Amino acid sequence: MPKKVPARPRRIAVRNLHPRLRLGRAPVVRALRALDGAHAALATPESTLANAHELSIVFLTDDELARLHAGFLADPSPTDVITFAGRPALGAAGEICVSADAAARYASAHGRDFSDELTLYLVHGWLHLAGHDDRDPRAKRAMRRAEARALGLLREKGALPRFVFSAAKKSVSFR
């Protein structure tokens, strides 16, 4: 009887383009792999993730994400997460673009941990690619339940990534 070859894990590209965000790429990848492992329990039938081999995550400033928001969605307002569906037939699951500034601002205003807030944005983006939507109240409630399940799963697996957001650099003048 031939041995069953395990499926090769998805390639996950992580880019940090935010000058004040510090993260470990390996913990972010571990979190996303944990979500991928629970795909059947978390995804909807509309998921674009199942057979795609590459997923891209990018952490951006508010300004950069607002530019993407304007350019691709004709809405110049700041936002927290944008997902771009991939082309599973070509092996691309999609891209999740996250604003570290939005997470810092929300966490500060609501007494939340920055790292927890940014992880929520990462989960939210993954769930969009897994077929969830949050455009109407019913779908939004389902998304919130899926977020809670996904965050619980990451906690259980010890796969919550940690992020550090440093304060704005102070300008230094020389005389």
Mind listing the domains of the chain with CATH numbers?
11-164 (3.40.390.30)
Banded model confidence at residue 4, pLDDT cuts 50, 70, 90? very low
**Is pLDDT at 22 greater than 80 in this prediction?**
yes
Distance CA 148, CA 94 (A): 22
Q: 14 with 152: CB under 8 angstroms?
A: no
What is the number of alpha carbons within 13 Å of residue 74 lying toward its C-beta?
A: 0
Q: Read off the pLDDT of residues 62-93 as tens digits, 9 standing for 90 and up.
A: 999 999 988 888 888 888 999 998 887 788 88
Q: Read off the pLDDT of residues 119-157 as tens digits, 9 standing for 90 and up.
A: 999 999 999 999 999 989 999 999 999 999 999 999 999
Q: DSSP assignment, residue 163?
A: E
pLDDT (average), residues 27-56: 89
- Residue-level pLDDT at 168: 67
Here the tokens at position 8 are: 């090769």
